[in-house]
Chain A
Amino acid sequence: MWILKRTAFYLLVGGIVFVAVFPFYYAIVTSLKSGTDLFRADLWPTTISLANYKSVLTEGSFVRNLLNSLFVSGAVVGLSLLLGVTAAYALARIRFRGRSALLFTILSVSMFPQVALLAGLFELVRMFGLYNSLFALIFSYMIFTLPFTVWVLTTFVRDLPVEVEEAAILDGATPWIIITRVFLPLMWPALATTGLLAFIGAWNEFLFALTFTSNNAQRTVPVAIALLSGNSQFEIPWGNIMAASVIVTVPLVVLVLIFQRKIVSGLTAGGVKG
């Protein structure tokens, strides 16, 4: 009976791992095939070919798309952390009227359906001449990274000991000095978590990137992959799509596995999907 239970338990565990990992494994296998091999469903590659990777990285604008995604995600992380840290200090440590209402408003912004902002954002982006520019993306991504960053950092700052700040106030430090000299050094764990989640969010965003860019040179990676097409309309380059998918996913998977614990704590603190 005991053995039966153990076996069933490990079968369940095995099943969970298989379902979680197999699709990505199969994408890797597909990306390593070339020619007619692609159209045979093998569980492992019989011959390994890097032809798909070569064609994705040398033909078309995929490298440019990668750089675009890196630039946009990096800028989004930097900006939302900068705005988030000062705001979190004010929200967590200074008492003023309307603070709860403000926190609630900020949280509710993260619940906005992005489509509801699309028409208004489109007008704004065109008005400022930002259509088909990466800055339109950086600006619009603030909608979902900023509320989350502010929320998580506020919770974190609130739990820092009061004594350090007290000492600094008695020494006559201004709030700006308190933030940069006292809090910032203590906040690295929270900054790493929120920064990483903001990066993932910006790296994966599709709707705004699809709507506010119009040519290949300005596209970010998700849009480029979604619109990757072959020589003819009916020929879908599955090998290239899988190679591109593996290229954009491997860094994310590595990051997530390295920062596993931080991500889990960030997700549970914010309760927000990345």
Chain B
Amino acid sequence: MTRMKPLPETARAAHSPLTAQRVRSAWLFLAPMLLVLAAAAGWPLARTVYFSFTDASLADLDARQWVGFANYFSVLHMPSGRNLYDGLLVDPVWWRAVWNTVRFTVISVTCETTLGMIVALVLNAEFPGRGIVRAAILIPWAIPTIVSAKMWQWMLNDQFGIINVVLLNLGLISGKIAWTANADTAMAAVLIVDIWKATPFMTLLILAALQMLPREIIEVARLDGANPWQIFWRVTLPLIRPAVMVAVIFRALDALRIFDLIYVLTPNNVHTKSMSVFARENLFEFDKFAYGSAASTLLFLILALLTIVTIRIGRISLDGGR
């Protein structure tokens, strides 16, 4: 917890011109940062939303016309009296991407939280070699996502991958499996790699929360005759719940915008394609720039909505401290 420290009393009360000077310099100091953020984030976001209402194409962005909501939804009245519907909102490929992303987010964040909790509880116990274990679990976090995607792609390789070899030797599978290409296993492959890579992050945040807990509380519960299982569910978990919620929110927002792992590990696979992959594909590969912009805009809206809701529920303080 951080708290606001009052400004020096002398500077505030006695010299109000000094206060004015300080406020002026505050804005002066903030200006470069705000300008960069406005130019790199604010303006591009506004342009993406604008493009989603046009028919801009990658080859010539300037030759565009306003088309209203046509990229999102449009109805074509046929002479025969039938209506044809078009646009993102009736595009099964888009809804498939939404479903993939949501499924990925729910499963990965659930597994990462559970495993992160277990590893954090292990690391919270005193045992020789704890430092080494903590260092070891940082390794997946330190490895670039693209590198982990490639490493796992190699281990999951259908012909020469070590995972198939081991599973075959143990007799667990009868034939070699193309993990990253099969419809049934591609999402599982993505999940395995993501969980492997992101669990350390969860572990570190939960561990930090565990180490803030006063030991006496646990001691008292133990003296009262509670078993470790009861202590965890009745004492520890309620106390660290706020910190865990923050970690879950950050992970979920991160998972909802996943791009690189899926793009590299399972290229061109409808069973894993996420919203971000769908959007970029349309923007730069299918020459449907405006359509891709519409998908990006929807993704942004979904995330913005979720962020606002979760910040309200999670009650993250806006003043810097938590």
A182 within 8 A of B: no
A260 within 8 A of B: yes
Within 8 A of A (CB), among B27-52: 27, 29-30, 32-34, 36-37, 39-41, 43-48, 51
Looking at the assembled complex, report how far the CB atom of A166 sits from the nearest CB atom of chain B, in whole angstroms: 4
Other-chain contact of A273, B47, B198, B259 (Cβ < 8 Å): B198
A85-113 near B? 1/0 per residue, CB < 8 Å? 01101111111100010111011110111
Residues of A within 8 A of B264 (CB): 206, 226
CA distance A90 to B319 in the complex (A): 14
Write 16 A-B pairs (CB below 8 A) sorted by A numbering: A9-B122, A27-B154, A83-B36, A113-B257, A113-B303, A116-B296, A119-B44, A121-B40, A123-B51, A124-B47, A139-B39, A150-B33, A241-B154, A253-B139, A253-B143, A271-B246
Other-chain contact of B29, A113, A162, A175 (Cβ < 8 Å): A175
B138 touches A140 (CB 8 A): no
B134 touches A260 (CB 8 A): yes
Looking at the assembled complex, report how far the CB atom of A230 sits from the nearest CB atom of chain B, in whole angstroms: 14
B162 touches A41 (CB 8 A): yes
A184 within 8 A of B: no
A115 touches B299 (CB 8 A): yes
Residues of B within 8 A of A118 (CB): 44, 48, 279-280, 283, 296
Other-chain contact of A207, B10, B198, B260 (Cβ < 8 Å): B260
Q: Which residue of B lies closest to A263 (CB)?
A: B138
B300 touches A211 (CB 8 A): no
B237 within 8 A of A: no
Name 20 extra pairs, CB < 8 A, besides A115-B296, A120-B44.
A9-B125, A17-B136, A24-B139, A38-B160, A83-B36, A94-B22, A118-B48, A119-B292, A120-B46, A120-B47, A124-B39, A162-B6, A203-B144, A207-B276, A207-B280, A245-B150, A267-B201, A268-B204, A272-B250, A273-B250
A201-221 near B? 1/0 per residue, CB < 8 Å? 001101100010000000001
A100 touches B319 (CB 8 A): yes
Q: Known contacts A116-B300, A241-B154, A249-B143; decide if A13 and B159 are in contact (CB<8 Å).
A: no
CA distance A106 to B136 in the complex (A): 33
B41 touches A117 (CB 8 A): yes
The 9 tightest CB contacts between A and B, nearest first, are A120-B44, A120-B47, A116-B300, A113-B257, A90-B26, A86-B29, A94-B26, A206-B260, A256-B142
Residues of A within 8 A of B276 (CB): 113-115, 207
Residues of A within 8 A of B127 (CB): 9, 13
Within 8 A of A (CB), among B296-322: 296-297, 299-300, 303-304, 307, 318-322
Q: Which residue of A lies closest to B295 (CB)?
A: A115
Residues of A within 8 A of B217 (CB): none
B40 touches A16 (CB 8 A): no
B257 touches A114 (CB 8 A): yes
Q: How many A-B residue pairs have CB under 8 A?
A: 305
Interface size on B, as a range, is 35 or more
CA distance A34 to B142 in the complex (A): 27
Residues of A within 8 A of B37 (CB): 106, 109, 142-143, 146-147
Residues of A within 8 A of B133 (CB): 13, 16-17
Residues of B within 8 A of A151 (CB): 320
Residues of B within 8 A of A200 (CB): 142
The residues of B with any CB-CB pair to A shorter than 8 Å are 2, 4-8, 10-11, 18, 21-23, 25-27, 29-30, 32-34, 36-37, 39-41, 43-48, 51, 61, 118-119, 122, 125, 127, 129, 132-152, 154-155, 157, 159-162, 165-166, 196, 198, 200-201, 204-205, 208, 246-247, 250-251, 253-254, 256-257, 259-260, 263-264, 275-276, 279-280, 283-284, 289, 292-293, 296-297, 299-300, 303-304, 307, 318-322
Interface residue total, chain A, C-beta cutoff 8 A: 104
Q: Which of A24, A91, A211 has the most CB of B within 10 A?
A: A24
Q: Which residue of B lies closest to A174 (CB)?
A: B25
Looking at the assembled complex, report how far the CB atom of A170 sits from the nearest CB atom of chain B, in whole angstroms: 7
CA distance A158 to B7 in the complex (A): 11
